[in-house]
Copies of this chain bind each other. A is one copy, B any other.
Amino acid sequence: MTEAIRDLAHLSHVELLTPKPDESLGYFRELLGMEVSGEVDNSVYLRGFGDYERASLKLTASEHAGVGHVAYRTHSREALQRRIAALEAAGVDGRWNQGDLGHGAAYTFRDPDGHRFELFYESERYEAPPELRPALKNQPQRYPGRGAGVRHLDHVNFLALDPGENRVFLEQQLGMRLTEQIVLDDGAEAGVWLACNQKSYDMTYTRDLTRTRGRLHHIAFFVDQREDVLRAADIFLEHGIVMESGPHKHAIQQTFFLYTWEPGGNRIEICSGGFLIFAPDHEPVVWTQAERAKGQAWGMQTVASFHIKGTPSVPEEEALLAGAGR
């Protein structure tokens, strides 16, 4: 990045699909400690105590698990226009919608793998109702003291047939920057981590070994301390939530992680730690096949399910069409 022209401000929210809306809601509200901030049709909107917007999670009842869309907020109206112009110049098929509860009109399109994205600028600043008003005025909402107590949505990890293709798309069309990647011995990119701000990443693509388009690997919520992740594990244990992997520390990005399956069938990560990237000229860190074979930071080998399981981000036929029609 030679100039500070990043038009995206931050990852704003994710729409998660669940065939078990009540159980999923219980997971996010009671075990993750999120609050409901709205309800429209088949969707419930939830938020972490540190989210400044109305919601970071839109939980939509659906026949299948998966993700509906991910949304980024831009730095300004002009930034939004610039991104749309870039997308249209590249022949991406986008359209406007009226936006979810809590934000204005959004421009929606698919990435090369078929995952649905939205960009918007107009956003409602969250005003906590009296019972959720925080003690400190620099915090959007009261800390819940319930469950894991997640602060905010942290990142999304999509599966993709070709992470490299999607990486180029996010760099060129959205102005994001690559911070770390896995490059296999044959030159293929097995994983890419991108950021649009000083977080070291908020979007990841890893290879879909099942050769299916448009699937979700996981979404992640942030807690302040590594100890909070350990405490979350204690809480999940008591509630029969399957923990797929962790708590442990990733070698890539050094995120301290715990992966669970929410009752609707989506993989959810509770994460902490990692680091910020201050360098304006940060060079992407490239991990080789051999380096990846070493396992996670402290030596734990990744469980097999981690490389295979995912949930569709949109119904399969739609994804296939999207991939074809792009």
Contact = CB atoms under 8 A, between A and B. Distances in A.
A10 B278 contact: yes
Contact of A297 (B9, B151, B235, B237): B237
Contacts of A287: 137
A318 interface: no
A279 interface: yes
Interface string A247-261: 111011110101000
A298 to B, nearest CB: 5
B75 A199 contact: no
For the complex formed by this chain, how many copies does it contain in all?
Answer: 4
A169 interface: no
B254 A138 contact: yes
Interface in A212-257: 224-228, 230-231, 233-238, 240, 242-244, 246-249, 251-254, 256
Interface of A: 1-7, 9-10, 31, 50, 52-53, 73-76, 78-79, 125, 134-139, 142-143, 145-147, 151-152, 180, 197-199, 224-228, 230-231, 233-238, 240, 242-244, 246-249, 251-254, 256, 258, 273, 275-276, 278-280, 282-283, 285, 287, 291, 297-300
